[in-house]
Structure 1
């Protein structure tokens, strides 16, 4: 076979792989092929779940398992060896490796990102490919890695802990943390968005340090009882009998991995000086989960624990580093050694995107003023002033407002999925109880089936807290709706939570990120790829804040004359062993008004768009603008569409550019062809339904040129198109389902047309008939 006609796979087998073997690379332990780096961004909208394109590296070379040093991009023979360099550089940036190769079988183009080589880009013959030891030595020179640091990085990971494969950013985070610790850095900060596996990443760091005996006794601090249990039973389970939980006064030095609640060792539910039962040098690594909370403040009780174990290495984990005028994580830990943001997680497809339904209520926008001498339902005279959103459910309760919010939440669930796990964030425990009652009344039929359909889960109520684990468990149906104030804002892993209801004023970016994080986990097993935010308090305006998902800016500058740091207002006051801003004691201290009508003024749907921002313009205007960036006119769009060998390819390209095709279907109707919806919204053309297009082909005689058996298949394809759209026609796998299985196997059906090429040609002809201009 001529070399010029070899496929990419043949080029790899005949030339690239032999070159790697000759250079000393072990194909089983050091060479990973077809490495999927990202999942592809979930595209939010109605209809079936869709993803954007993922990123896959042809080869990743690892000096040791999960210690990558190089990327290779392969191209079929006959093409330029340099063709894959730019593509591979993107992969190298994600993997944080310095060496990039591209080859089409004749030679390698080698790009060196270290800045230490005489030339950044050179060409190597096949027999000049570098050995593993050579690339590792150059990698270490690039990173200044030697001695302890190199030993820690090369220490084996725990293989398949919990059945999880390490993602590229987790490997990068582990490597950066170990490099920092290896060079003697005493305080290390990792910033990773909620749902990206902070605890699992921390486990692998601890595992390497513990197994290498670089750190022998480790304290892992958390701020939730559920988190302590979850950590011990899941991610940290491989530590087995070496691990214990600090729950009493007895020091048990035979253990090496200790899990503890902040509150247990600092006095909230434990003994205030419990940590002093250990000598100050007992631990040589302290890991602080959710370190943006109490440990960020200089005068907090939690900081006392860190100061007491000051000789240990301190590793901070957070999704939301705190940077305010009074408190700074950076001041304590320094700059993060690694950051993986919510925006990046969504773009990579590891985190769920969201759509926002913002519901504005009249009294929230205009306020409410009592009439002269008006009393509330308990006969208390109401102070004469204008009450606004900052007052509602704090100093003033409008009972009809609570009922309206509960009704709108219920309407959404009834229109989508009444068993979708939902968290309703309320102003306080009292508000959470009243919201529970309102939701019970709106959903009396399902509450009658199981009283746990709606539960208040707050820190002061044992019955509700007992259901927290069931809410988080995807295998448990109940509770479905949880009303809360603070207890569920952070640290609760609920992968199937599909709806967040914001009826709480949130002004802190830190807290906002934590709340949004309750919905960002993807659960493919349970079909959860995105979530919805119902916003009644205009909280989602914080999405527009530059601080929402950008790099934190240090603004805390302590000086010798600093005043004492005020209490941490973002601290979860409903934390374990604590109540919220009040225990539930009825409505004491609030005016309660039952006869003031509240109505919906405006309701708008917003979507997460490309680049990490909410699309705030109307869906139609957004679509028109995005489509016209690629197509100057209706005629241009039609020509490209009709000439395209794959209509699905055009639709995927448009989605990648931010066109929300299925959201258009939600708004205008999923019975219309996407081709027609795009033309209708962008170029003001009347839309046609898929059924109408299919019927026109049937009655036009267009299929008369095909044989009887071919027509049976094509008519079944028309039915499939009318039901699902044009992309279903372009997949041969469609022949594996009804009604095609009644016509024969895939091989038999294709044989009717005389082979695959003839079958695909017939499908393209069918598409021509479908999209032919109307006479």
Structure 2
């Protein structure tokens, strides 16, 4: 008996059954699998088939999967584990054509391909599609020529919103046209958006099925995406579209946009678990995180459920393991990004800078370009910030470069040096760098100077004359709270009686209703409106202090000032933050009294100020032409007055120098359930967090940053129970290191159980196979062993990374013979992938 054949057969059987295919009738549902048209199968034959499935009297045994009417739907060509599934490609095609089948699955139990004979080449899948999904997929008769031939003009979206708009009197009358467009919220594609659609059609003509639009923030990526969605749905090249975002709050924003643009023809829903609404919709919006959670995308969706997948902010929403979600689905793929690849043009990627965020960003972008078939560095369409400014659609920032003596020192090669005398009387020095500002290095005077400089130099609202609406980016939530308090104190002195501590608001994940605060700020009613002029609608709160909540996808066109009160090391974050101010705005729209609109001298937003206190612009754009450079006064120094600067805090370690002896010893075997006291400890913690309304509400809203921050601050290490993550891990009795989020998910019933280390490794390897699509399928078992060993064994990683391969001879976890079985190109590919995408801490015991 061939063991590899038997193992492959068992795996294929399980995959078929997991996807809902039936070898035997179940109730009123008939069997929908048969082996060769003329080979019958009985329950008593299953053991024989499991042990020797490839060769019977009549030759190779293929699976023929049937539709609901009993007609052939899919040919499944099965190969042994040590054979590449693609070797059966032509044989399967011939057999499929003879059975009038459009679909083929090629599998060796470990590596699987789904092949739509009408659409193109075989596509790697990690699970088998369900019968219902393939039947629906079959109803889509793809014809790329219809995409190419579709006429797309500037009114492509407007025709869906109001098909008869061009025949209406208000449109024909030039004097009424602007009001007609505004009242009916008609959207017309700008010339560059139209060009994006035409270039996508050209790419389809060239046989491509993956596209990347690189469009600056504020240039209407969502509207452009809506036009792409209409193009594929209208041309019947897609039955259903998946739109992926990277943050929860962007779900509703995208749904509202698509509903406004396309609801006359297509339904849009936000996916929610345990609901089938998505099956009745043409456009499904969700976060990539929700699909990743507990591998929901594999458990609840079939690879054939979506014919077009669009990833918003592509290199964020498909970064890391999220790429496996994106690649899971068969069909056309479109990536949208505001981050240009060439922002790293001055970065030398050849030097050893593995800790430099620009290097990781560079690798992430390279992966993104590769994912969308743009290996040459040219996206399908590009429209930059400079293009937008030149064409009059966007505004450039006025960069205010402001540095104090302290921040200048923090930014220097030497850093900020603090001299002090330790407990023994010895002179010591501690050095701080910009990364440690508001983490290990605190300066109240520096923060006060930041706020004062910002307020004295900020752009003013052209209507009310007050400080223009602003967003300030802080280091941490604690830092944000400090800055909001400082701003409010200073505003009370600058504008007596006007704000009553409503001038600045902290908008971070730990603040209840923070998301609603950001919405109210955009809608000009945060803590009230019209504070200076009654008939002018503008937010009473003038400054939102945040950390990361308002960076991507946040639309507030009347922002006039941005404050970088922190060092930024991610180029993506820098570009996204800068993009919050680039949109144009007409301040006349906020005046209730129409007669006053003509009195404004400068009603249009022509620029915004970007206050940079940490040389971020210099870091990313070394030749940036600063528009305004401020020399700040030195913070007041201590000359015998006020509190003395304390020495740096100790390292936080305790060294016990006294003697100790072993008083007693007792051996007790602990079962997999753990000790009763451990289980009770875990259960008490569960009751504590479930009964806490702040935690329960944040978990319900999916605000995990807020949940984890709150538990660490308010629940851990408190008297009585002294809960800690380490104690909870021991109590859970799992063979790997759990995260706090996993523990909380289990407590709140979001996952049924904790996965073992091997289960997690199996899932991660399936993602690797989906992303890297191994060609050496016959060696996949060796690659898997290598993958698991490198991910879970620190000793194996050390040997591989140091290239001391001779040490594998004595390595019990992964030896020299195992390593030699790994194909040469995977010996480095596997470590690179794991370093990029896997948090290795989760595999530790």
TM superposition score normalised by structure 2: 0.45
Q: Which has the higher contact order (CA 8 A, sep 6+)?
A: 1
TM superposition score normalised by structure 1: 0.48
